[in-house]
Amino acid sequence: MSPKWKRYAPLTQFGKVLAFDTALNGVSVGYYQRDPHVSDALYLDTVRGQAEHLIPMTKSIVEKHGAALSDVECIITTIGPGSFTGLRLALSAARSYGMALSVPVYGISVLKALALGYSASINRDEDCHIVVAIETKRSDYYMQIFTADVQAASDPVTIEAGQVVPWIESHNVTKAHVIGDALGRLQSDLTSTKGQGESLDLHWHEDQSHFDAKFIASHGADHIDSYSSDLTPLYLRGADVSAPKAKARRISDV
């Protein structure tokens, strides 16, 4: 059953916003408060135990600034792509907070969140695009292309390295800033792909690889129309499932 927003559904601006992500490596939590002004974040770099840390971190960052979770007016979470387990954790926590606090919950893709954070930190070049590449923990990449003002110029895709350059060029991109946590591997893969991308002007920004929870919380407070109330997970692929290593025992074997 969908939660019924008792207090904040009509609002397009929020005074206290909590944002988080566990789809990428680690746990990122951001908190924005309009009055008195607060913009803060906590980050824990871990690939395990995210479930143990997310809720305590959300409580800690809010209470650090003299508020309580019950004061939060809006929740923002990433909806993927990324870690299957981490993604389900963040979505479950966001929905639970929405129900418990009677506040609206909004989602944003990891790809768009990274593009938004990067776009806010640069002088926008209208002729330049933003290409986001994040890890799949396989040979391929999760990628999406955005315009300088963070409008989607492509659909989000799962793509192999050998297809990346033709894919970018097929969207009429000649100059792009490339960001995301897969940059090191992608740059190496493209360097070894000879004869491709000679017409592309790619600028690599390895410092723009993490979800900026502080920025997303503050941005969402005034631009919630950039986010979606649809929390359908953006998986782009099924979960990794492997057959059990040990043969199942039968009752007759016992």
214 lies in the same domain as 88: yes
Residues in the chain predicted with pLDDT less than 70, given as ranges, are: 1-11, 123-125, 193-197, 238-254
Determine the pLDDT at residue 120: 87
Pairing of the two strands 201-204 and 175-179? parallel
Condensed to tens digits (0 to 9), the pLDDT of residues 7-50 reads 444 567 999 999 999 999 899 999 999 999 999 999 999 878 89
20 lies in the same domain as 107: yes
> In the chain, how many domains are there?
2
Euclidean distance between CA atoms 197 and 204, whole angstroms:
14
128 lies in the same domain as 196: yes
Euclidean distance between CA atoms 161 and 22, whole angstroms:
25
Determine the pLDDT at residue 5: 45
The 10 Å Cβ neighbour count of residue 250 is: 7
Euclidean distance between CA atoms 241 and 195, whole angstroms:
37
69 lies in the same domain as 133: no
80 lies in the same domain as 37: yes
Determine the pLDDT at residue 122: 76
62 lies in the same domain as 135: no
Determine the pLDDT at residue 1: 43
173 lies in the same domain as 49: no
Determine the pLDDT at residue 196: 63
Determine the pLDDT at residue 237: 81
Domain range for residue 217? 16-111+210-226
Three-state DSSP string of the chain: CCCCCCCCCCCCCCCEEEEEECCCCCEEEEEEECCCCEEEEEEECCCCCHHHHHHHHHHHHHHHCCCCHHHCCEEEEECCCCCHHHHHHHHHHHHHHHHHHCCCEEEECHHHHHHHHHHCCCCCCCCCEEEEEEECCCCCEEEEEECCCCCECCCCEEECHHHHHHHHHCCCCCEEEEECCCHHHHHHHHHCCCCCCCCCEEEECCCCCCCCHHHHHHHHHHCHHHCECCCCCCCCCCCCCCCCCCCCCCHHHC
25 lies in the same domain as 105: yes
Closest CA to 172 of 159, 153, 188, 195: 153
Determine the pLDDT at residue 127: 80
The CATH number for 183's domain is 3.30.420.40
The values of phi and psi at residue 114, to 5°, are -65, -40
Distance from the first to the final alpha carbon of the chain: 45
Whether residue 175 contacts residue 129, with contact meaning beta carbons closer than 8 Å, is answered with: yes
Place of tokens 């963040």: 90
